[in-house]
Amino acid sequence: MTRRKGYAVLAVVCLLYWILDSIWSYVSFEYNLKKLIFSEPGSYLDTFLLRVPPYQIVSRIMVVCLFTVLGILIIEFIKKRQAAEKDRKEAHDTFLTVLNSIDATIYAADMHTHEILFMNKYMIDRYGGDFTGRICHEVFRNSREVCSHCRNDELVDASGNPREVVVWEDQNPVVNAWYVNYDRAIKWPDGRIVHLQIAFDVTQFKELEKKQKKAEEQLRQAQKMEAIGNLAGGIAHDFNNLLSSIIGFAELAMDEVQKGTSLESSLQEVYSAGQRAKDLVKQILAFARQSDEERSPIQPGIVGKEIQKFIRSTIPSTIDIRHHIDSDAWIMGNATQIHQVLMNLCTNAAHAMEDAGGVLEISVKDVILEKEALSAEIRPGAFVEIKVTDTGIGIPPEIIESIFDPYFTTKGPGEGTGLGLAMAQGIVESYGGKMSVESQLGKGTTFTLYLPMIEKQSDQDVSLPERLPTGTERILFVDDEAAITEIGKRILEQLGYSVDIRTSSTDALSLFKAGPENFDLVLTDMTMPDLTGDRLAVEVMKIRPDIPVILCTGYSKKMSEATAATLGIKAFVYKPVVRTDLAKTVRKVLDEAKGWNQQ
């Protein structure tokens, strides 16, 4: 900068001197010419210089300097322009490199004509070409009209000056992706105000959000199931105590009543009702996924055929029932529960077709499922696939995600509890299976069950009913329900045992401490005040480690057979107490205890 100023000062000085010299030369030209003509030349140099005075020689030199300086200044100016152009080009290339390296769609368009003025490389690749010069809404929206959500009016104020950024979200119909758009008005190089948009693809975040919502729904479902399970467990405990009295006294009464009488028939009905109530409690616990339901190998195909025959008499004749049973595979489960699940699905299907009729189809086949078709909790492998399909009215999309929720129902008051599908799902998932639904309005619904297959079971011989085992050992029977201790005492004494009963666990412990050798077995309820059954078992075995203990329970959230085994408890008797189960379990534990003692 200092150098250029020096050149400029020197040029000004030379220019002034040259101007003054030119004026003087013009004034003295005639005199110098006459002198040159009428005088004798001294030398050729004098002739060339026209006998120019020394100050004029300096003037000529300064003119040369002037043009030299001007040349230098011109060269400096050209170099400066070239450097500026180079810097501008480098800045332009850098800016484009930055824009093209951003994983976002960036474009600019005229605010009035909507002509695209710029697209970055990411956007060019995303939309399959550079559409600069085209109309933005035609290219990016496949629309001949200006977008209804165009933000141009929001980007400038009343005076036409740019305002703050506008952020909005939508799904682009061309690339079918979700974007968060950042729009603002900027000043273009030619001076006009244009619309600049920077949009980030958030499709993956949308998918994650959807998965998160699904996970939250599953969590809420699990919390509902846990709450209902706790409620069911509490009801089951008390209800099983009542059923123990009903079933137990009915069994005892039938032994004493005269055979073939109406009284025996009435007692048999009481006993049968108690058994059905017992199954109902087990189903409630299965729904809550807290059941200790005994399972055995069963064939779903056979259950499907039975359902097809049974449902025929309960639904309108306008409904055509079909079945395709292509499986003789086995699963580990409970036939009553599978029967209940299929009956519930068939009943719902019939309700969906009761006005116009239709086709109800039950199909059973064997399938192999890979990991992709199952949830993370279910192992891939061989499954029995059961489908219940109807051609009814279908399920509205807005409620299909809620149909498995407890107490959710579309039926009128008094027509449904909303527990059917929730209970069915609980049973299927308790087997390690999966239940899903597909539906289209006006076309029908298909429920699909996948139940894990087990190895084929060999046919078992049907044996005659065996006599109940008996014994003469001494048993301490403990339960806080007096009716249950009375039933247990009478059943065991009929089998030949000597029985002492207590309705207080602390009293029972005191009795045992007074004479540990007076008993061969302790049978105690699990849930009791003061001292629970498992704690009583531990205290008893501290006194006499070899005493066998049987735990009697209708429902316990914290106690399982595995946990009981770690405490030294030998077996479980499940409420309601049934004479056959009680007799076999007591005899088995006593015989095993004798074998251990002999060893």
- The tens digit of pLDDT for each residue in 318-337 reads 899 998 999 989 999 888 78
Q: Cα–Cα distance between 587 and 567 in angstroms, integer?
A: 21
What one-character DSSP code corresponds to residue 570? -
Q: Look at 226-240, 249-263, 286-300 and tell me which has the smallest mean pLDDT.
A: 286-300
Same domain, 309 and 438: yes
Q: How many domains is the chain built from? A: 5
SS3 298: strand
Q: Which of 63-77, 180-194, 269-283 has the highest mean pLDDT?
A: 180-194
60-69, 386-395, 479-488: which range is least confident on average?
A: 60-69
Mean per-residue pLDDT over the chain, rounded: 81
Task: State residue 225's pLDDT score.
Answer: 65
Is 401:369 a contact under the CB 8 Å cutoff?
no
Out of 177-181, 184-188, 214-218, 412-416, pick the least confident.
412-416
In-domain check, residue 132: yes
pLDDT reading at 45 higher than 60? no
Is the domain of 193 the same as that of 111? yes
DSSP state of 418: S
Residue 82, classed as helix, strand or coil, is helix
Whole-angstrom distance, CA of residue 460 vs CA of residue 465: 15
Residues in the chain: 599
The CA-to-CA distance between both ends of the chain, in Å, stands at 112
Is residue 249 predicted with pLDDT exceeding 60? yes
The C-alpha angle with vertex 391 and arms to 388 and 394, in degrees rounded to 5, equals: 90
Q: Do 127 and 82 share a structural domain?
A: no
195 domain-assigned: yes
Domain end among 287, 304, 325: 287
Q: How confident is the model at residue 463 (pLDDT cuts 50, 70, 90)?
A: very low
Structural domain includes residue 428: yes
Closest CA to 356 of 313, 318, 309, 300: 318
Q: What is the mean pLDDT of residues 57-77?
A: 72
111 shares a domain with 42: no
495 pLDDT band, cuts 50/70/90, is: very high
User: How far is Cα of residue 187 from the mean position of the Cα atoms in its chain?
Assistant: 46
Q: CA-CA distance, 108 to 91, in Å (whole number)?
A: 19
Q: Provide the CATH number for the domain around residue 160.
A: 3.30.450.20
Say if residue 328 is in the same domain as residue 258.
no
Mean pLDDT, rounded, for 266-279: 80
Tens of pLDDT, residues 563-589 = 778 888 888 887 887 888 889 999 999
Is the pLDDT at 18 greater than 70, yes or no?
Answer: no
Residue 13 scores a pLDDT above 80? no
- pTM here? 0.45
Residue 166 resides in a domain:
yes
Do 303 and 447 lie in one domain? The reply is yes
Residue 37: how many other CB atoms lie within 10 Å? 7
What pLDDT is attached to residue 243? 83
Q: What's the pLDDT score for residue 247?
A: 85
Q: Say what the pLDDT of residue 44 is.
A: 47
Is residue 8 scored above 70 in pLDDT?
Answer: no
What sign results for the dihedral spanned by CA atoms 513, 514, 517, 523?
Answer: negative
Q: Is residue 567 part of a domain?
A: yes
Which tokens is 57 given?
């020689």
Residue 206 lies in a domain: no
Would you put residue 217 in left (φ > 0), alpha (ψ -120 to 50) or beta? alpha
- 405, 423, 454: which is the final residue of a domain? 454
In whole angstroms, what is the distance from residue 561 CA to residue 173 CA?
A: 59
Domain membership flag for residue 209: no
Does residue 514 surpass a pLDDT of 90?
yes
pLDDT at 73 over 80: no
Q: Which amino acid, one-letter code, is at 144?
A: R
Distance CA 350, CA 345 (A): 9
Distance CA 243, CA 278 (A): 7
What is the rounded average pLDDT of the residues 211-229? 74
The backbone region for 418, taken as left when phi is positive above 0, alpha when psi lies in -120 to 50, beta otherwise, is left
Parallel, antiparallel or unpaired: strands 319-326 and 444-454: unpaired
Q: In the structure, what pLDDT confidence band is assigned to residue 590 with cuts at 50, 70 and 90?
A: very high
Angle between the N-to-C axes of helices 533-543 and 505-514, in degrees from 0 to 180, rounded to the nearest 10: 10
pLDDT in tens, 527-542: 888 899 999 999 999 9
Read off the tokens for 594: 């004798």
With pLDDT > 70 as the criterion, what percentage of the chain qualifies?
A: 78
438: Cβ contacts below 8 Å, ≥ 6 apart: 445, 446, 448
Q: Which range marks the domain in which residue 588 is found?
A: 474-598
Specify burial of residue 277 (Cβ count, 10 A radius: 0-12, 13-18, 19+). Answer: middle
pLDDT at residue 222 is higher than 90: no
In sequence order, what are the beta bridge partners of 383? 367, 452
Q: Walk across the sheet containing 521-525 and list its strands.
A: 498-502, 474-478, 521-525, 549-553, 571-574
Contact residues for 136 (Cβ-Cβ < 8 A; gap 6+): 107, 109, 114, 115, 116
Looking at 107-111, 116-120, 559-563, which range is the least confident one?
A: 559-563
pLDDT at 292 over 80: no
Do residues 427 and 546 both lie within one domain? no
Give the DSSP H or E segment for 590.
helix 579-598
Q: In the prediction, which pLDDT does 364 show?
A: 94
For residues 159 and 87, membership in a common domain is answered with: no
Q: Give the span between the Cα atoms of 594 and 471, in whole angstroms.
A: 13
pLDDT at 416: 54
Residues 584 and 516 in one domain: yes
**CA separation for the pair 578, 251 (Å, rounded):** 8
Which residue, 289, 292, 265, is CA-closest to 278? 292
Same domain, 57 and 108: no
CATH number where 314 lies: 3.30.565.10
- pLDDT at residue 539 in the model: 94
Q: Six-digit token pair at 304?
A: 């499907």
Residue 399, pLDDT score = 86
CATH number of the CATH domain containing 583: 3.40.50.2300
Residue 287, pLDDT score: 52
- pLDDT band at residue 422 using 50, 70 and 90 as cut-offs: confident
In a domain, 499, yes or no: yes
Asked whether residue 325 falls in the same domain as residue 423, the answer is: yes
pLDDT band at 22 (very low <50, low <70, confident <90, very high): low
Which of 173, 201, 229 marks a domain boundary? 201
Angle, CA 64 vertex, CA 63 and CA 69 arms, to 5°: 95
Which range scores top for mean pLDDT: 225-229, 335-339, 523-527?
523-527
pLDDT class for 508, splitting at 50, 70, 90? very high
**pLDDT over 70 at 472, yes or no:** yes
pLDDT at residue 407, as a whole number: 64
Predicted local confidence at residue 66, as pLDDT? 67
Examine the pLDDT at 562 and tell me if it is beyond 80: no
Is the same domain home to 508 and 411?
no
- pLDDT at residue 276 is higher than 60: yes
pLDDT at 496 over 60: yes
- Strand 571-574 relative to strand 549-553, pairing: parallel
pLDDT in tens, 148-202: 888 888 898 888 888 889 999 988 888 888 999 999 998 888 888 899 999 999 9
pLDDT reported for residue 549 = 94
Q: Is the peptide bond before 576 cis (omega within 30 degrees of 0)?
A: yes
Asked if pLDDT for residue 291 goes beyond 60, the answer is no
